[in-house]
Structure 1
Amino acid sequence: MSEDFYEQIFNKQQRLEAVPSNKEITRWALQVIHLLYPEQTGKVFADVAALKAEFTLLENELHHMMEVTKGCGDCDNKQRADRFFKGLPELFRVLNTDIQAIFTGDPAAQSEFEVVRTYPGFLAISLYRLAHSLYIDHVPLIPRILTEYAHSKTGIDIHPAAEIGEYFYIDHGTGIVIGESAVIGNHVKLYQGITLGALSVDKSMANTKRHPTVEDHVVIYSGATILGGETIIGNNSLIGGNVWLTKSVPPYSRVYHTPSHRTINSDEV
């Protein structure tokens, strides 16, 4: 390889030297979640002052990460970090509605502690909500790193720009994809293998509504695929497993996939 190639790679490394790794960014986010939910780690603090100091340390870390990830030049990253942490009480309240939805909706859940400690759906939702809070304040890069980490850990892929209401329940979750412009209402329940995607993928469609809207009190069963920015699933609807939808359905709909199959009796074998 030529010296010019080595020089090109070296110069790129110098430009990236100050940018924290994905591991450092996700560590920061997980620490925020662990402070909100000590059930995940069992870590306790000696007093309120020590807890407050930990939050302050994480706010300073966020400010630093914003500074070095090359966001907009005229943004006040100190103010943005302050806004994020001032918004934590509301984020915590909404996350508690998600815990309640999972606990009351899953017969297998023995306690809210179990939901917080073990459920991959709650981990994915937690990181999404944290990432979304940063995303809507125009923080670059960090939100996507967080939701991609959740994707790698849980198999649940939620774009940080998606808009998701309260009491959100993901059951099992593996293989769920929720696209950038998807809108999900309150009290929505999703099973594994669901796609809320775009009808087509083209760069010219960036910044358009490409993904579906799911209204309040909707249940979508495993394997369903719902596509298109104009597709609306009306409130209180039930979408059965393996359904393929590219058109809207009105409120209180019941949509089922009807497979064709034949059972072979033992005397035919």
Structure 2
Amino acid sequence: MITDTNTFLEHLHTQRAHYRYKLPSRPDAGRFIDQLMRLLFPVTQDCKSVSQHVEETYRSLHEQLTKLLCPLENNLPETPEAITERFFERLPSIYDSLLLDAHAIADNDPAAVGIEEVVAVYPGFYAICVYRFAHELLQYNVPLLPRMLTEYAHGQTGIDIHPGAQIGPSFFIDHGTGVVIGETTVIGNNVKIYQGVTLGATHVAKSMAQKKRHPTIEDNVVIYANATILGGYTTVGHDSVIGGNVWLTSSVEAHSLVFHQHQTDVRLKSLESIEPINFVI
């Protein structure tokens, strides 16, 4: 038994030497995201933790991101410090994009009482924020960390957005639980998505890794709850509405209305011999 344990431990030790990447700390990644959110949107903080030292927090976040990038240094195209500088130079533009997202949610959700509520508590907004941070880092060819950030948001919200997806401004996710947006998805401007929507692939073969596997959603499209849209060649034309529970694997033209046809059979227990009445809705 001791020999088996020693062999097992030796195997684990040897295995570590073959890992391609050294990972940053997952808890540190989560803390970075939440502190960045608090810097940009102080309303997300509880009253006890509100910081008046914006410059100090800003410098601290610089240090935190550099620390997260350091374990990946051998796989980065630039130094961790250079990538950190590039990210924070882009932060004002990212912030402007996030404000557009927040306003899109506040303006289109009848239940939203204002922009502060959206920013403070809406899971859809939180997931979009983390996606936009992670997507920016992915543009600098940072491995693993962007996905680590979006998976942190996935755990917090139930919304799974791959950092490689391309999503235009004024993006609206309502409720959000169960939303899945795949890596090669392209989403235009002013798109609205409800809970349970999947923008996925029709094939999961590894040979498809470098190909477009996920759909394109053009501007001003609304996709209602639990709709599934699959395939890299599938395009939903602009200003279309995709109804709830639709399963779509082929393109639809602009201004289309696609809905699931539901059939109900009503049987009268006391008159079993009577043919059922069919209603098509």
What is the TM-score of this pair, normalised by structure 1? 0.92
Instruction: Write the mapping of 1:1-269 to structure 2, written as runs, cut at 5 A.
Output: 1-10=4-13, 19-41=23-45, 42=47, 43-46=49-52, 50-72=53-75, 74-263=77-266
What root-mean-square deviation, in Å, do the aligned CA atoms of Structure 1 and Structure 2 show?
2.1
Structure 1 regions of 5+ residues with no counterpart?
none
**Percent of paired sites with the same residue:** 46
Deviations 1:12-60 (A, max 9, x none): 67999x84421111111111111000100044444xxx31121112112
1:260 CA drift (Å): 1.2
- Equivalent-residue separation in structure 1 for 2:271 and 2:15 (angstroms): 68
- Quickly say closer, same or farther: Cα 1:9–1:171, change in 2 above 3 A: same
1:71 CA drift (Å): 4.8
- AA paired with 1:121? G
- Higher radius of gyration, 1 or 2: 2
- Equivalent-residue separation in structure 2 for 1:167 and 1:137 (angstroms): 24
- AA paired with 2:221? V
- Quickly say closer, same or farther: Cα 1:88–1:266, change in 2 above 3 A: farther
- Equivalent-residue separation in structure 2 for 1:29 and 1:12 (angstroms): 31
- AA paired with 1:75? E
- Quickly say closer, same or farther: Cα 1:204–1:97, change in 2 above 3 A: same
Deviations 1:187-220 (A, max 9, x none): 0000111110011100000111100000000000
- Equivalent-residue separation in structure 1 for 2:77 and 2:248 (angstroms): 43
Q: Secondary structure at the residue paired with 1:9?
A: helix
Contact 1:209 1:229 in 2 (8 A): yes
- Quickly say closer, same or farther: Cα 1:266–1:187, change in 2 above 3 A: farther
1:63 CA drift (Å): 1.3
